[in-house]
Amino acid sequence: MELFKQIRLKIGDVILRNKIAGKKRKAHYSNINQVKNIGIVWDASKIDDFACLSRFYQKMHENKTDVKILGYFDGKNLPNQFTAIRYLSIVKKEELNLFYHPVSADTHTFVNNRFDVLIDINFKKLLPLQYISSLSNAGFKVGLFDSETIDTPFDLMMDLKGPVNVEDYLNHVVHYLEMINSGTVN
């Protein structure tokens, strides 16, 4: 069974790479004061990290920046704290196709949304979240640096020593976004 899963993951990765190859995008970012909306892709199996994300949402909301979080949860029962939150959508295992690509309406909407900034919190490199981050129409994408990845979808990568703490990661992201003040990033 595990072998079949690994084969499906490899095929899913190849299909994703082919989709990425056919998609052209130009990164755009001015400065943090111009950011009106942020999308966050998150590994929701890390339930304790949700408190950090809620604080981040609150901080951004106070700055009049809209935040949408799309998480992937592969467990059987969705935790109660993930329900009835308007800025959080969760993709569950049953919303993946045979090759671990998310096929839910929430995923489609999120990928097609033109976020000013996309923040990837997918430290385990889960394929469903890689799919979302890679195909997102976000103007500027931020993710964790990985020396093994050749074709990264990210415009800005954070090189943090592990284990990476979500709150520290988000603080670093905001810090570096505040430092950037340009028209278009190429």
Helix residue ranges, H only, the chain: 2-21, 50-62, 105-112, 127-135, 166-179
Say if residues 90 and 82 touch (Cβ distance below 8 Å). Answer: yes
pLDDT bin (cut points 50, 70, 90) of residue 123 is: very high
When pLDDT is averaged across residues 23-29 and rounded to a whole number, the result is 83
Domain boundaries defined on the chain: 2-179
The CATH number assigned to the domain with range 2-179 reads 3.40.50
18-37: average pLDDT: 86
- Split at pLDDT 50, 70, 90, the class of 146 is confident
Cα–Cα distance measured from residue 128 to residue 133, given in angstroms and rounded to the nearest whole number: 9
Residue of 113, 68, 63, 107 whose CA lies nearest to 86 = 68
141 alpha carbon, distance to own chain's centre: 8
pLDDT class of 134 with cuts at 50, 70, 90 = very high
CB–CB of 117/140 below 8 Å? yes
Average pLDDT over residues 117-130: 95
Chain centre to alpha carbon of residue 25: 17
Question: Would you place residue 138 in the very low, low, confident or very high pLDDT band (cuts 50, 70, 90)?
Answer: very high
Q: Are strands 141-144 and 156-158 parallel, antiparallel or unpaired?
A: parallel
Task: Evaluate whether 121 touches 43 at the Cβ level (below 8 Å).
Answer: yes
Q: What is the mean pLDDT of residues 83-97?
A: 93
Full-model pTM: 0.91
